[in-house]
Amino acid sequence: MLPLPPSMPMPSSLTWHDGTLTDSIAAVEAAWGKVAKDIGRDPVEVISATHGKRAIDNLAQFKPSLKEHEMDNAVAEFEETILYYADAFHRRATSLSSFPSSDVSTPYGSNGSSSASSRASSLSLSRPTFATRLSEAIIARAMASTAVIDEDELDEDLDSAWKVEAESVDRSVRILPGVQRMLESIPKGRYAVATSGAKTYAYGCMTRVGITPPEITITADDKRLKAGKPAPDPFLLAAECLGFDPKKCVVVEDSPSGIRAGVASGATVIAVCTSHEREQIANCGAHYIVGNLERVRCEAVRMEGEVRLRFQIDPGREEN
């Protein structure tokens, strides 16, 4: 990590959406916890393995039986499950829509779902894990019935248990500190979003917190991409679409794979500790590390006859 500069004049900015602009960690953890239980894996292990990577890559790893022509639908259905978890708590008082159900996105009636868009981070040890809460919901459902039930009824009870758990925890998508000010300070057409989430998840998260997705939003299902993070392809494509040399861009990232992708693209990388502890990302190559975007300011300035973005990192204590 380089010493903090007074300012960095750059022509453009590239960002990743979840963990940098928005926080949907609770919803993604729940969706991945559901997948982990389905495939018989440890939720913490599965969540950690998928953070910052494309859903299509994670699906290929955890559910290799999926055929290539099934991937797009599989990714979209899984990401709809994430958004279901994000919305369920606040919709519980009204008529809830049916829980997303398919061969990929449900833990019952299938031989494994998987995938994620992004967002791992460790499960908090100070609160019950998703698996614990789900188990309690299933037990409660079972104790509520004294009758012997058949397999179909068991599936229905399990479906209900998933819904009960989803409605019991507030997993709403939230905008992260400093993001609104940062976006308002950047002129239109001077920043892009490059995300490991596919369009369903990426656009769903941003619009839920009032962020209008920029014209250049590179999602994981963009057919122009040959590889996802930690390969630099998403950032290289975003810079190309903006019309700037990636070496003259600033990347803001939160995940190890995203930070490495930004560094590999040649951009100046600012890492934010919004999803990982500092020690977890300290050796990923970021040029600067801050707690969140509240410490980073940006203004458009005219230099040498052109408009550039001046990034300034405010001095402050080192966040964990």
More confident residue, 249 or 151: 249
- pLDDT for residue 173 is more than 70: yes
The predicted structure's pLDDT at residue 91: 83
The predicted structure's pLDDT at residue 226: 92
Q: Which residues of 162-172 are buried (b: 16+ CB within 10 A; e: fewer)?
A: bbbbbbebebb
Beta strands 268-272 and 22-23, pairing class:
unpaired
Question: How do residues 89-114 score in pLDDT, each as one tens digit?
Answer: 988 755 544 555 444 333 322 333 33
More confident residue, 176 or 149: 176
Q: What is the mean predicted confidence (pLDDT) over 8-12? A: 60
> Quick one: tokens of 44?
């913490």
The predicted structure's pLDDT at residue 72: 86
- pLDDT for residue 8 is more than 70: no
Write out the residue limits of the CATH 3.40.50.1000 domain(s) in the chain: 13-21+176-313
The overall average pLDDT reported for the chain is: 78
The predicted structure's pLDDT at residue 38: 77
Question: How do residues 49-71 score in pLDDT, each as one tens digit?
Answer: 887 778 788 878 888 888 989 98
Domain spanning 13-21+176-313 has what CATH number? 3.40.50.1000
What predicted TM-score, i.e. pTM, was given to this entire model?
A: 0.75
CA 32 and chain centroid, separation = 12
The predicted structure's pLDDT at residue 119: 38
Taking CA atoms, 188 is separated from 26, 185, 255, 271, in Å, by: 31, 9, 26, 23
- Tell me what percent of the residues of the chain surpass a pLDDT of 90: 42
Question: How do residues 191-247 score in pLDDT, each as one tens digit?
Answer: 999 998 889 999 999 999 999 999 999 998 899 999 988 999 999 999 999 999 999
The size of the chain, in residues, is 320
The predicted structure's pLDDT at residue 123: 35
